[in-house]
Each structure stands twice: as C-alpha cells, then as structure tokens.
Chains A and B, each alone.
Chain A
C-alpha cells in the first residue's frame, strides 16, 4: 500500500471501508441466523467457516490493505496460511 495517497484516493478508500463494514455486519447477521437452522454438524461447520473466511478476507484485503500490498509481505503470509491449514488438519488425522 502506497504511503502517499492523494485526498481523492483516500476518499475512495473511505467509501470502500463503509461498504466493507456493511458487508461484515450483514454476514454476521447471516451467520447467526443460519446457526438457528440447526443444520447437520458438517454442513454447519462448512457454512460457518466459509462465511468467516470471507469476512476475514474482507478485513485483510481492505482494512489491512493486503489487496494492494507488496509481494514481500504477501509471500510470507501465504507460507503462514499453508502452515495454519496444516495445523488445523493434523488433529483430524487422529480419526483415521
């Protein structure tokens, strides 16, 4: 993310922030509403994690400016994301 933005660019960013906020608020309500449907556990986990991942991506891409960030920051994060997923998969292997 460039540290030298023109006032017009900053104002465009602010518009995006407001839109992202509305999306996050709506997705939070949807997440809670879906939980009251009492879906089977696998479907419930899938839907909840899908929505949470989308919300997390919005925060990272726009509030944390990752969508416009340099590759030197993106590459280590991709590596971390990979190992984070590995950490989540390891305990499920105990079932097999």
Chain B
C-alpha cells in the first residue's frame, strides 16, 4: 500500500517525458510565475503610457544601491549553482558553504532593499503617493517576497532537509536543482526590474 502513495519519478526521469516529474513541476510553476510578473509589467506599461508625466527612475530612486543589489543577486545565483555543482562532485561540505553564502547574499539583498524602503517612507513616499510609487512598491515588494521564500527554502535545504543527502543523494540533488531554478528565476526577474524601474 505504501508504494501506491509514493510520488513516482521524482529522482529518475519519467520514461515518456525524459525528465523527472519534480523538474517538470518546477518549470510549470515558473511558467505561471512568468505570467504573474508579466501581468504586473503589463500594468507598468499601461500606467506609464497613460501618464501625462512620469518620473525618470534615477531622479527619485537610489541607482547605486540598486546596482549593488543587482550584483548581490548575480553573485548569489553563481553560489547557488556552485552548491549544486558541489553535490554533483560529491563534496557535501562545499555544498553547505555555497548554500550558506547564497542565503547570506539573499539576506543582504533584503537589508539593502529595506534601507531603500525606509528612505522612501521617511520622505512620506508610499504606494498610495502616485502611480509610479504604486507600481514600484508592488513590483519590488512581490519580488522581495519571492526572495524571502527562496531564503526559507534554501535554509531548509541547508539545515534539516540536508539529512536526505545521506539516505537518498539523487533525490536531494534534485531538490537543490529545483530550488536553484527558483532562485535563478528570482534573479532573472530582478534583471528586468532594475532597468525598468531605476534607469528608464
């Protein structure tokens, strides 16, 4: 009976699709995420085209801080993929090192972002101030929530979830790869958010 409840093909590729069900599932989730952010980018374009005046992002937002955050996320993507590569090389201690760095970089991103938000609130700039701040806080806020989600996911894979490495290394590698796909997607979204909001 226990076999009936088991989710199949989460470590081995499915014979029909050629990929694991878990990887296909993560990609379907990411596809839905593309549409979620796509809807908000679409709203941004509509608001901007319809506005009689639209501020240049660099005049009211902090470009150096956002550039720093872009670099932080890019480095975190490298450390994330290096954590997966370390597992592929059967080096668990290196995996933990790179995963811990990825988590710290994610936290650093949020700290920098919180400085930016605090500065805006000090000057009484809220989502309700105007359409620019409305879409700025919506897009960066939703992205920030994704970063928080990624940090918790990575923390799980660094601490309690890493026990799986001893019992089922193949499945654990699959989980780290799936978490990596999500983390890279979060980086990818920021790559588009940064010029859209701060530089144009």
Contacts and interface: CB of A to CB of B under 8 A. Distances in A.
Contacts of A20: 78
B46 A31 contact: no
A10 interface: yes
Interface residues of B, number: 53
Contacts of A7: 88-89
B142 interface: no
Contacts of A3: 13, 20, 170, 173-174, 177
A91 B199 contact: no
Contacts of B63: 32, 35
Interface in A75-95: 76-77, 80-81, 83-84, 87-88, 90-92, 94-95
Nearest to B45: A91
Interface stretch (B133-141, B147-155, B183-191): B183-191
Contacts of A41: 200
A56 B192 contact: yes
B145 interface: no
A93 to B, nearest CB: 10
Contact of B23 (A73, A81, A90): A73
Interface stretch (B31-39, B102-110, B121-129): B31-39
B85 A14 contact: yes
A72 B192 contact: no
Interface string A20-52: 110011001001100100000100110011011
A63 B184 contact: yes
B82 A14 contact: yes
Nearest to B70: A28
A67 interface: no
B25 to A, nearest CB: 11
B127 to A, nearest CB: 20
A73 to B, nearest CB: 5
Contact of B71 (A11, A28, A73): A28
Interface in B159-200: 170, 173-174, 177, 180-181, 184-185, 187-188, 191-192, 194-196, 199-200
Interface of A: 3, 5, 7, 10-11, 13-14, 17-18, 20-21, 24-25, 28, 31-32, 35, 41, 44-45, 48-49, 51-52, 55-56, 59-60, 63-64, 69-70, 72-73, 76-77, 80-81, 83-84, 87-88, 90-92, 94-95
13 contacts: A3-B20, A21-B74, A21-B75, A21-B77, A28-B74, A32-B63, A52-B191, A52-B192, A56-B191, A73-B19, A84-B35, A87-B38, A87-B39
